Structure 1
Amino acid sequence: MSQISIEQLRADFPALREGGQQKPFIYFDGPGGTQMARQSIDALVGYITSGMANLHGPFQTSVKTDILLEEGRKTVADLLHCDPHEVAFGQNMTSLAFSIARSLASSISGEDEIVVTELDHRANVDPWVTLAKDTGAAVKFLQVNPNTYTLELDRLNEVITEKTKLVAVGMSSNVTGTVTDVARIVARAKEVNALVIVDAVHAVPHLSIDFKALGCDVLLCSAYKFFGPHIGMAVIAASLFEKLPVYKLQPAPQEIPDKLETGTQNHEAIAGLIGAISFIEAQGEGTTRRERLQSGMQRIEAHELTLAERIERFLQEQPGVRLYRAPAGTPKTPTFAFTIKNVNAREATSWFAEKYNMNIADGHFYASTMAEKLGVNPMGGWIRIGLAPYNTLEEVALFEKGLQEYLAEKGIR
């Protein structure tokens, strides 16, 4: 497998061009949202400037929008390996999750149990906790191991039982980068006929996804995490989607996937989404779009792994730094959460922003259950470095220099 050309790849991101500021920005905030690829910007602006319209009209701009939505579903289907009619668009992942949760209420009772995890972003916890509150169902948590930052899957059989009706799990932690063995959870859930909801928001920018192979019922993600605009996607298995009693306007379409897409969709964002996926496709090779997307993701993953291995080694060696990272052998995305002894996280990230123009985030990142369990909130949460494919070895080296300088200023040796 040939490597990506980092110079050519970076040329596709206008935000990376040096402007009038003294130092160029260094974007280490990928988990919070990546920069937008040129292909996405061009597609979004192209749709707007060539004339917009709503759906189902006889005139050219309306027909163009109908075709746009159809192409958007096909493009997402190739990225995630699902059927186009299983793809629904929405405001964001969180809104889609709440809509699906509300629709599932009629199938959940007070005798049932819903399973969520301590590792996850609350967007894949609270919609289902709210569903439990509304229906009287019990909530159980798959616990996170405080030493390995992985879920305690050895307890699956006692957590997921015959009473379980729904299991919600994240494919990858947006804090520690831990990639969870979702297939194992799906297998156990299916033994008791429970639905499985997978949050792939943090996984899609880094891993090749196969919805059909996963065997889950719902997969959720957001385009602004993989080089596109702010728009959410829900992939819902047709067998569930067909019978899902969604809340909708009476005259609105009854068929899938339209019935979940309440109101007029963000058509320009869907155009940008198609452009973002075409950026990924351009990184790969193959005879079909699916093959090129898989190849492109493999090359992105290989590039990010090189940088990630260096950052991980470096952070593990620094005095006063605690890295929250799963052990070797556990799959992980290039996302690093750490704390510095006696330092508030916001103080450190502000220093990096001022001194080095580095966009490094801090906080609990909505993984608030894990943050509370691991006791990081009094320090302002974690400091998080999150890589994207446009990051370089030179940027990593500058971060290393900066952190050593900061530790020296603090007298940490």
Structure 2
Amino acid sequence: MNQPFPIQQVRAAFPALREDENRKPLIFFDGPGGTQMAGSAAEAMMAYISDGMANLHGTFPTSIRTDDMIAEARSAVADLLNCEPSEVAFGQNMTTLAFSIARSLASLIEEGDEIVVTELDHRANVDPWVTLAKDKGAVVKFIQLNPETFTLDLDTLDEVITDRTKLIAVGMSSNVTGTVTDIERIKLRAKAVGAIFIVDAVHAVPHLPIDFKKLGVDILLCSAYKFFGPHIGMSVISASLFDKLPVYKLKPAPQEIPYKLETGTQNHEAIAGLIGAIAFIQSLGEGGTRREKLLSGMQRIAAYEDELTEKIESFLGNIPQVQLYRAPKGVRKTPTFAFTIVGVNSREATAWFAENYHMCIADGDFYASTMAEKLGVYDRGGWIRIGLAPYNTAEEIELFKEGLQWFLTEHKK
């Protein structure tokens, strides 16, 4: 698909972007914390609610529709991520799912075993596994961050991952620096020692086409509110591991996958919204199947975001007062930019942009606290983070450039 990216069509698909004479329009640069919701997602949620809600496995129409809707959601996620529908389990969010999975993995971890996490990751992909290690007397080891390149030091994999390693948890891409990690290289080492390999793809799914089967990992976690949907999390667990995974559950609840991980009544309206969010991505693509359309749509999103990235990366990288935390050329990255300003508390800057330019720009450590400590950004209030989504425009980036130059001028006074 070589046609220009349909930015006006995309923006029209998001209710939060519609102009309203009763409110000032906002510029949303906070996608890494959660994108705006596609109208198709909101409509799917309201349709499920309006047409009559019900719990599962009944003989009456609303219950049957709920069963069918959840089955369709699994199928849609399977097409988005290229996995089997039976490998998809829903939960409150990625963090809650990770803690639940960690608890179920406890039976496979013994005292003295090693669990490997990274210094680059969001703590949602660190603390569940660290807690598991503490409970079982296992040893926690970190793949270290290179503070010069903002990438993981993978040259030490043979030393960090050993024959005693039983579990490895790595983020596919950083929600702060945008760095995309070489998952294939880590996977090969994980397979060599027989370790369970877990990937946090929360920040990756909105920007990169994902192929669970090709990745060959054991567990992948993500959240719909990061890719235009409602607040709901998903885990994809390879059937070979999922089948033997013991879980804490009610005695009468289903024993088979994927249901056994889904304790209690799920958020049915959010699952309906997830279908609508995936339909939005599908609408941007081409092909004969939903998977082909989703892959094409994600490739189209990535190409457009790459165009926007070029407009902002060189700008931030050439301002003396700005320190940009960005991996060098040649390293794949998402359109996510973390920076600090000399002599400025990051929260002061984001508040200024909100007041003067109606821009939603986030500040803080974004739960990547290990990296924040290592890079020493807490004395500046953490990072300022600009994250792009397919509804952002070149015009919005030009306004940000204008605003930052004005802010720096004002700050000198």
Which TM-score applies when normalising by structure 1? 0.99
Whole-Å separation in 2 of the counterparts to 1:239 and 1:197: 14
For 1:305 and 1:42, locate their aligned partners in 2 and report how far apart those are by CA, in whole Å: 30
1:267 CA drift (Å): 0.6
Rounded to whole Å, the distance in 2 between the matches of 1:407 and 1:318 is 10
Q: Give the Cα–Cα distance (whole angstroms) in 2 for the partners of residues 25 and 167 of structure 1.
A: 40
Aligned to 2:259: 258
RMSD: 0.8
Q: CA separation in 2, counterparts of 1:145 and 1:271?
A: 41
Equivalent position amino acid for 1:323 in 2: L
Gapped regions of structure 1 (runs ≥ 5): none
Verify: 1:114 aligned to 2:115, yes or no: yes
Matches within 5 A, 1:267-282: 267-282=268-283
SS in 2 for 1:406: helix
Q: Is residue 146 from structure 1 mapped to residue 173 from structure 2 by the alignment?
A: no
Q: CA deviation at 1:343?
A: 0.2
1:187 aligns with 2:201: no
Q: What residue in structure 1 maps to residue 131 of structure 2?
A: 130
Deviation at 1:309, TM superposition (A): 1.0
Alignment of 1:331-350 (within 5 A): 331-350=332-351
1:61-140 to 2 correspondences below 5 Å: 61-140=62-141
SS in structure 1 at match of 2:189: helix
The superposition leaves residues 337-357 of structure 1 with CA deviations (integer Å, 9 ceiling, x where unpaired) of 000001000000000000000
Contact 1:23 1:356 survives alignment (8 Å): no
Q: CA deviation at 1:22?
A: 6.1
1:145-224 equivalences in 2 (<5 Å):
145-224=146-225
Asked if residue 235 in structure 1 is aligned to residue 209 in structure 2, the reply is: no
Compute the displacement of 1:23 (Å): 3.6
Q: Deviations over 1:278-298 (max 9, x none)?
A: 000000000000000000000
What is the Cα deviation at residue 79 of structure 1? 0.2
Deviation string, structure 1 residues 46-88 (Cα, Å, up to 9, x no partner): 0000000000000000000000111010000000000000000
Q: Residue by residue, what CA displacement relative to the aligned partner does 1:200-226 show, whole Å, maximum 9, x if unpaired? A: 000000000000001110000000000
CA distance in 2, matches of 1:135, 1:182: 27
Corresponding letter in the other structure for 1:286: G
1:410 partner SS = helix
- Equivalent residue number for residue 15 of structure 1: 16
Query: Identity of aligned pairs, percent?
Result: 72
**Residue 21 of structure 1: how far off its partner (Å):** 5.4
Deviations 1:13-67 (A, max 9, x none): 0100122456410000000000000110110100000000000000000000000
Whole-angstrom CA distance in 2 between matches of 1:310 and 1:158: 40
SS at match of 2:86: helix
- Following TM superposition, where does structure 1 have runs of at least 4 consecutive aligned residues deviating by more than 2 angstroms? 1-4, 19-23
1:40 equivalenced with 2:41 (yes/no) = yes
One-letter amino acid of the counterpart of residue 195, structure 2:
A
In 2, Cα distance between equivalents of 1:208 and 1:138? 34
Q: 1:175, 1:337 within 8 Å by CA — same for their partners in 2? A: yes
Partner of 2:361: 360
Q: Which amino acid aligns with 1:67?
A: D
Q: What's 1:374 paired with?
A: 375
> Aligned equivalents of 2:277 and 2:116: distance in 1?
33
* 2:77 maps to amino acid: V
- Amino acid of the structure 2 residue aligned with 1:350: A
Unaligned runs of 5+ in 2: none
Deviation at 1:252, TM superposition (A): 0.2
Cα distance in structure 1, aligned partners of 2:74 and 2:23 = 42
Distance, in Å, in 2 between the alignment partners of 1:306 and 1:360 is 20
Shift of 1:318: 1.2
Q: Within 2, Cα distance between the matches of 1:35 and 1:194?
A: 37
TM-score, with normalisation over the residues of structure 2? Answer: 0.99
Matched residue, 1:54: 55
Counterpart CA distance in 2 for 1:250 and 1:163 is 34
Q: Retained in 2: the 8 A contact 1:170–1:198?
A: yes
SS, match of residue 96 in structure 2: helix
Distance apart, 1:409 and its partner CA: 0.8
- 1:143 positional shift: 0.3
Task: Give me the whole-angstrom Cα distance separating, in 1, the residues matched to 2:227 and 2:184.
Answer: 23
Superposition deviation, residue 276 in structure 1: 0.0
Count of residues paired in the alignment: 412
